[in-house]
Amino acid sequence: MTTPPTPRRVLALGAGLALLAVTGLAACSSSDKGGTAADGQYTLWDPYPQFDGSSAWAKLIGTCAAGAGITIKRTAYDTTDLTNKALLAAQQGNAPDVLIVDNPVVSTLADAGVLTTTQETGVDVSRIAPNLIAAGQSGGKTFGIPIGANTLALFYNKKVLDAAGVDPASVKDWASLNAALDKVKAKGKKGITFSAIGTEEGSFQFLPWFWGAQGRLTQLDG
């Protein structure tokens, strides 16, 4: 009877949107396909297939590797495909050393035992802002390190606001925003629009407004 391979665990690096995905350094492994701290070779999977070897992203990885005195073999997958391949690779014992994923994926990978905690790898995350590091946490443990955070902003059409008699500087809270939108609509224009794409991107665009208005996902009639 063949003994199934022990799932390989990695630490995710955060990159993402809503607080970028989370990233991390991997634990050492005896896997033939994954690098170890001993040989200085590491494998990295990221969700950026649009960036080839000549891109600024690939060059940045190369620069970081050279600065650390290691070699990094990078493989890029589509975001959804990356999660599935990471889960399968971990079960087969040949997961990459470093994963760059979007933060919603962290809990899925952590629950499956794919990720290594920062405590296990000795990575100090104490200086990272609580709201950012939270994107890489699940079940009270930290599995990922944020490498970036997206910020939402409102863009306005000055001509439309001028015609409606709205000074952008006057919009400072919900009441003043609603008042401005009423004036814009009174002039026959659309008050405001959001991205409504049916993916996590759409949720990312909408939820800050929902939470900002004191909404709660556990209270649907709130």
Q: pLDDT, tens digit, for every residue of 131-153?
A: 888 888 989 999 988 887 777 78
Beta-carbon count within 10 A of 152 CB:
13
Cβ(96)–Cβ(10) below 8 Å? yes
**What is the model's pLDDT at position 204?**
78
Name which residue leads in pLDDT, 95 or 159: 159
Q: For residue 212, name the pLDDT band (cuts at 50, 70, 90).
A: confident
Taking the C-alpha atoms of residue 8 and residue 52, their distance in angstroms, rounded to an integer, is: 27
Average predicted confidence (pLDDT) for the chain:
80
- 27 contact partners, CB below 8 Å, separation of at least 6: 9, 10, 11, 116, 120, 121
Task: Give the range with max mean pLDDT: 76-80, 117-121, 181-185.
Answer: 181-185
Q: Which residue has the tokens 């396909």?
A: 33
Could you give all domains of the chain from N- to C-terminal order, each with its CATH number? Answer: 11-146 (3.40.190.10), 158-212 (no CATH)
Cβ(152)–Cβ(205) below 8 Å? yes
Taking the C-alpha atoms of residue 158 and residue 49, their distance in angstroms, rounded to an integer, is: 37
**pLDDT tens-digit series, residues 8-52:** 455 455 443 322 233 333 333 333 344 445 578 889 999 899 999
Cβ(26)–Cβ(115) below 8 Å? no
Q: What single-letter DSSP state applies at residue 44?
A: E
Cβ burial of 93 (10 Å; 0-12, 13-18, 19+) is middle
Tokens of 166: 């709205």
**What is the model's pLDDT at position 188?**
95
Tokens of 104: 């919603």
